Amino acid sequence: MKNFINLTLIACCAIITALIAKLDELIIFSIFLALFFYSVVYLIGEHKNKKIAGFALPLSYLFFLALIGLDFVLPATFAGLPIIVYYYTHWNQLWILFSCLFILGVPNYNIITFSLMLINCGFSIVLKHLTTSYLRLSEVFIDTVDQNTLTTRTLRQHNKYLMEQQEVEKENTVLEERNRIAREIHDNVGHKLTSALVQIGALELTMTEEEQSEIKALHATLDEAMEQVRESVHNLHRESVSIENSLHNLVVSYKFCAVDLNIKIKNEPDNNIIRAIMSITREALANTAKHSNADLIKISLSQVANNYILLIVDNGKSGKIDAKSGIGLLNIEERAILLGGVANFSTENGFRIFVRLPINNS
C-alpha cells in the first residue's frame, strides 16, 4: 500500500515534469511505460525462484537505459525515470543515474525540466529509503511482539506448572502427615490399649466370678476401642497411599467430559510412582480440556511384569504432534524419564499417551 502511494506521488511529479518539457508530447504514454517497466521488474524480483529473481536488477538497468533511449524519439519520456529509480534499494545501485547525462544530447533539451527530473529522482530515493526503513522497523516490531507473546505464553505455562507442583507438594505433605498420624496412633495408642487389655486379662484371673462382671464389661469396651483404632489406622493409611482412590477422586472432579477409569494392579505403587501417575494424568486431562473436542477419555493403569503401564486415550480429533512444542507433553516425558520409564504420544484413533514406569526403580 505504501509503495502504491509513493508511486502515485512520483507519477504525479513525473507528469508535471513532462508537461513542462513539452505540451504536445505523449505524456501519459511515457509515464505508463515507466510504470509498466517498474511492474515487470518488481514481479520478476518477487519470484520464488532465486535465479529468476536475480535477473530483476540487470533488467532494471536495461529499462532505465531504454527510457533514456526513447528520449531521442519522445523527449518527455525521461520524466518516467524516477519511477524506475524507485525500484533500487541500495545506494550502490544508483550509479545508473550517471547515464542521465545522455539526456543533455536530446533535441529541444530543457535545463529546467532536466533539473526537475533529477529532483524527482532524489525524491524517489528518499521515499524508497523511508519506506524501506519503515518496513524494516515494522518487521522488527512484529517480531518483538511475537517474541513477547511467546515469552508471555511460556511464562504462563511455567507458572501453571509451578502451581501444579505446589499443589502436588501440598498433597504430598498431607499424605506424609496422614502416615505420621497413623504411625503414632498405631505405636502409642495401640500399644497402650494392648497393654491395658493384657493387664485386665491378668486382673480377671485374681477376681471372683461376681467381681469379674464389671471387669469383663471394661474388657469388652477396650476390645471395641482397640478394633476401632485398628480400623481407623488402616483406613487412614489406605487413603494416604492408594493410587486407586487418588485417581478416582481426580476423575470425579473432572467436568469436561466422561472418563472411563480402569485399574488392574497387584502391588500398590510407592509415593514417587503415585506422584508421577497423578501428575501425568492431571496434565493429560488438562490438555484434553484445552485442545480437544473429545467426549470420552479412557484411563487404564495396569501392572505388566515389573512395570506399571498408564494408558490415556481420548476420542477427539487431533493433528500432528510435536512433543517439543508443548511444555505439558515435555513434563510428562521428563517425569517418566526421571523414574527410568518412557512416554510416547500418538494421534491414532484420538490422542493417546502411553507411559511405562518400572517397579524396581520406585
In terms of residue numbers, what domain contains 201?
A: 173-242
Give yes or no: residues 229 and 339 share one domain: no
Place of cell 520478476: 44
> Is residue 162 included in any domain, yes or no?
no
pLDDT score for 355:
92
Tell me whether residue 237 is in a domain: yes
The predicted pLDDT at position 59 comes to 81
pLDDT at 267: 78
Cell of 38: 517498474
Contact between 13 and 118 (Cβ < 8 Å): no
What's the pLDDT score for residue 24?
Answer: 47
User: Is residue 215 included in any domain, yes or no?
Assistant: yes
284 with 341, same domain: the answer is: yes
Examine residue 103 and state whether it is found in any structural domain, yes or no: yes
How many domains does the structure of the chain reveal?
3
Q: Are residues 264 and 236 in the same domain?
A: no
Residues 254 and 276 in one domain: yes
**In terms of domains, do 237 and 131 share one?**
no
Same domain, 315 and 327: yes
CA distances from 328 to 104, 223, 312 (A): 72, 52, 14
Per-residue pLDDT of the chain (362 residues; tens, 9 = 90+): 556 676 677 667 766 666 666 554 556 666 677 777 777 777 777 777 888 877 777 887 787 777 777 777 766 676 777 877 877 777 777 777 777 776 766 666 667 777 777 888 888 888 888 888 888 888 899 988 988 888 888 888 778 777 766 766 676 677 667 767 767 776 667 677 777 777 777 777 777 666 667 677 777 777 777 777 777 666 665 555 577 877 887 888 888 888 888 888 887 787 788 888 888 888 888 888 877 788 888 999 998 888 899 999 888 775 555 545 567 788 888 888 888 899 988 877 778 899 999 986 54
Burial (CB count within 10 angstroms: exposed 0-12, middle 13-18, buried 19+), residue 77 = buried
Residue 185 and residue 229 in contact, taking contact as beta carbons nearer than 8 Å: yes
- Please check whether residue 15 is in contact with residue 79, taking contact to mean a CB–CB distance below 8 angstroms: yes
304: domain CATH number is 3.30.565.10
Whether pTM > 0.75 for this model: the answer is no
Q: Residue 120 falls within a domain, yes or no?
A: yes
- CA dist., res. 46 & res. 35, Å (int): 16
| 329 and 291 assigned to the same domain | yes
Q: Are residues 107 and 187 in the same domain?
A: no
Last residue of a domain, one of 212, 242, 272: 242
Give the strands of the sheet with 258-264, arranged side by side. 258-264, 296-304, 307-314, 352-358, 342-346
Give the length of the chain.
Answer: 362
Based on the domain organization, do 125 and 36 belong to the same domain? yes
- In a domain? residue 333: yes
pLDDT of amino acid 201: 75
Instruction: With respect to residue 82, please indicate whether it lies within any of the assigned structural domains.
Output: yes
Q: Which of 189, 217, 242 is the last residue of a domain?
A: 242
Q: Do 16 and 135 share a structural domain?
A: yes
Residue 149 lies in a domain: no
- Picking from 220, 242, 264, the residue at the C-terminal end of a domain is 242
Shared domain check, 214 and 108: no
Same domain, 119 and 8: yes
Contact 316, 292 (CB under 8 A): yes
